[in-house]
A and B are shown apart, each in its own frame.
Chain A
């Protein structure tokens, strides 16, 4: 533990990353902000944490009716509702995560103007506070698969790894948009559109197989394509995600989070005045 700190305060110039060592020292704060977000989300609601499950579940019902039943969308031989819900559980975490992260800095303007702490904790904790919702929706997913007679297979170990891939992607996007939203409030209007477009470019209502062979791997540029296809692979036993596609997703997610860190680090100093 540090007893004395010696700090030099001076104008920063050029390329600058957020202080990640300090972030690690303040991890307790991250935990507390996540706890606050979770606590506040369901305060004074009747259904409480049920909402966490309801959101992907209702989407699943709608999609199952229109795309599964009426549209006769192929679903890798898996009953359409569970096929669709398996993808909606990670997708809900992702889209809620980036939506909340985007407005997180602006919502915390009083904190930013009055108290010093590593600013990066704000978007990070708002992405991660969705993990609790994810766990509840995931429990329902396991129950639902069992109902259809589908049980986790020995590829299920992939699922935690894919969750991490998704987390990195959401953090990368969240860093970009939260910082940009401080300067350009236009960003929050872009987010609903972006999540719509992104959802339909991810194999959620359709199987990955629908994409022609040579293009399928390129889908990996969207890390969420690998996450969703991987969840189905690990939990429903559909065909494996091509290794090159996974690698491409890993590279793409790393690029997002690294560039996000740089952008955040350089815009950070304008937050106090612009937020």
Chain B
């Protein structure tokens, strides 16, 4: 496949476990005597300081959001990630972007990562559009210098125009999204992670975003990771696709065949449903 130098992302046996419920929440409940509680809390603190997060949080009720995930992504490749809700797509992006640590396995990332997991996450409603461009740009890893240079371009792309000096709490939700996306596409990372944000805004703006994504992939050699439920976007943008289910990789490979498999599986589930709920169709 790709040789080592061309590798933008290498993931080896990555797993991530999350607690479903932690007994921490029951601290001080009447069931436990206070001294018991104090002792177990002290033990938890010690465990935590020793780095044993699992026992500190009583992870007996836990779920593997991601397990045994391994793959490689070459430099400049565009990869789509598909799967049902809760299949681990977002967790995967969170690990690659270092928002959260894996529980097991490792990943090697070669290149500056820019992640767009939520548009406008770095915005503050009380600040103006201008202020928010700078604030969110810097939080997402840009330098003020670069923002000065790209400012006009960002504003132009967003179409916010004369409202740039208005507090964004007075923007429509569409305007906020456009501004957020404009900042994000001007980050110019070497690896761009995008989670379900192309589905925002009106049809015209979605079109504009798709064009921008295409030009990012085509012209700048950026490695792109795209999580979405809009299969069409993946057809349009990605040569390669990863299909996740229950935290594990079901299939990985060329977009055509993986999506073919996904479609087949969805059809089968639908048929199963029909078998079970078939009587309803006759009513």
Q: Are A113 and B105 in contact (CB under 8 A)?
A: no
Q: Which stretch of A6-14, A189-197, A240-248 is in the interface?
A: A6-14
**With A28-B138, A113-B99, A115-B117 known to touch, is A40 a contact of B94 (CB < 8 Å)?**
no
Q: Are B110 and A6 in contact (CB under 8 A)?
A: yes
With a CB–CB cut-off of 8 A, which chain B residues contact A114? Answer: 99, 115, 117-118, 121
Q: Are A183 and B24 in contact (CB under 8 A)?
A: yes
Q: Return the contact of B121 from the options A33, A110, A183 (Cβ within 8 A).
A: A110
**Distance of A15 Cα from B51 Cα, bound (Å):** 7
**Distance of A8 Cα from B10 Cα, bound (Å):** 9
Shortest distance from the beta carbon of A215 to any chain B beta carbon, whole Å: 31
**Distance of A192 Cα from B138 Cα, bound (Å):** 33
B156 interface hit (Cβ, 8 Å): no
A209 interface hit (Cβ, 8 Å): no
Determine the residue in chain B with the shortest Cβ distance to A117.
B139
B112 interface hit (Cβ, 8 Å): yes
Docked complex: B2-35 residues within 8 A CB-CB of A? 18-19, 24, 27
Q: Are B115 and A14 in contact (CB under 8 A)?
A: no
B108 interface hit (Cβ, 8 Å): yes
Q: Are A32 and B48 in contact (CB under 8 A)?
A: no
Most chain B CB inside 10 Å of its own CB: which residue of A8, A14, A16, A36: A36
Closest 3 CB pairs of A and B: A10-B106, A114-B121, A272-B100
**With A8-B108, A11-B104, A115-B122 known to touch, is A28 a contact of B53 (CB < 8 Å)?**
no
Q: Are A184 and B96 in contact (CB under 8 A)?
A: no
**Distance of A224 Cα from B98 Cα, bound (Å):** 37
B161 interface hit (Cβ, 8 Å): no
A69 interface hit (Cβ, 8 Å): no
A131 interface hit (Cβ, 8 Å): no
B127 interface hit (Cβ, 8 Å): yes
Q: How many residues of A contact B (CB 8 A)?
A: 42
B109 interface hit (Cβ, 8 Å): yes
Determine the residue in chain B with the shortest Cβ distance to A4.
B111
A164 interface hit (Cβ, 8 Å): no
**Distance of A40 Cα from B132 Cα, bound (Å):** 12
Shortest distance from the beta carbon of B45 to any chain A beta carbon, whole Å: 9
Determine the residue in chain A with the shortest Cβ distance to B15.
A11
**Distance of A262 Cα from B103 Cα, bound (Å):** 21
Q: Return the contact of B101 from the options A11, A28, A111, A262 (Cβ within 8 A).
A: A11
Q: Are B121 and A8 in contact (CB under 8 A)?
A: no
**Distance of A36 Cα from B19 Cα, bound (Å):** 34
Q: Are A28 and B108 in contact (CB under 8 A)?
A: no
B162 interface hit (Cβ, 8 Å): no
Determine the residue in chain A with the shortest Cβ distance to B11.
A9
With a CB–CB cut-off of 8 A, which chain B residues contact A2? Answer: 112
Q: Which stretch of B140-148, B212-220, B247-255 is in the interface?
A: B140-148
Docked complex: B116-159 residues within 8 A CB-CB of A? 117-118, 121-122, 124, 126-127, 131, 134-135, 138-141, 143-144
**Distance of A40 Cα from B127 Cα, bound (Å):** 8
With a CB–CB cut-off of 8 A, which chain A residues contact B83? Answer: none
Most chain B CB inside 10 Å of its own CB: which residue of A6, A266, A273: A273
Q: Return the contact of A116 from the options B97, B105, B110 (Cβ within 8 A).
A: B97
Q: Are A115 and B95 in contact (CB under 8 A)?
A: no
**Distance of A269 Cα from B127 Cα, bound (Å):** 30
Shortest distance from the beta carbon of A24 to any chain B beta carbon, whole Å: 14
Interface bin, chain B: 35 or more
Shortest distance from the beta carbon of A78 to any chain B beta carbon, whole Å: 42
**Distance of A9 Cα from B190 Cα, bound (Å):** 17
Question: Contact flags (1/0) for B195-238 with A, using CB distance below 8 Å?
Answer: 00000000000000000000000000000000000000000000
With a CB–CB cut-off of 8 A, which chain A residues contact B53? Answer: 269-270
**With A4-B110, A9-B96, A111-B139 known to touch, is A28 a contact of B117 (CB < 8 Å)?**
no
**Distance of A55 Cα from B267 Cα, bound (Å):** 66
**Distance of A32 Cα from B137 Cα, bound (Å):** 10
Question: Contact flags (1/0) for A249-273 with B, using CB distance below 8 Å?
Answer: 0000000000000110011011011
Pull 8 A–B residue pairs with CB atoms less than 8 Å apart, ordered by A. Answer: A4-B190, A5-B113, A6-B110, A7-B108, A10-B106, A14-B51, A39-B131, A263-B49
Shortest distance from the beta carbon of A12 to any chain B beta carbon, whole Å: 6
B50 interface hit (Cβ, 8 Å): yes
Q: Are A29 and B139 in contact (CB under 8 A)?
A: yes
Q: Return the contact of B124 from the options A4, A8, A28, A36 (Cβ within 8 A).
A: A36
Shortest distance from the beta carbon of B11 to any chain A beta carbon, whole Å: 9
Q: Are A184 and B27 in contact (CB under 8 A)?
A: yes
Determine the residue in chain A with the shortest Cβ distance to B100.
A272
**Distance of A39 Cα from B127 Cα, bound (Å):** 8
A43 interface hit (Cβ, 8 Å): yes
**Distance of A110 Cα from B118 Cα, bound (Å):** 9
With a CB–CB cut-off of 8 A, which chain B residues contact A43? Answer: 126
Q: Are A269 and B101 in contact (CB under 8 A)?
A: yes
Q: Return the contact of B102 from the options A11, A186, A270 (Cβ within 8 A).
A: A11
Shortest distance from the beta carbon of A30 to any chain B beta carbon, whole Å: 10
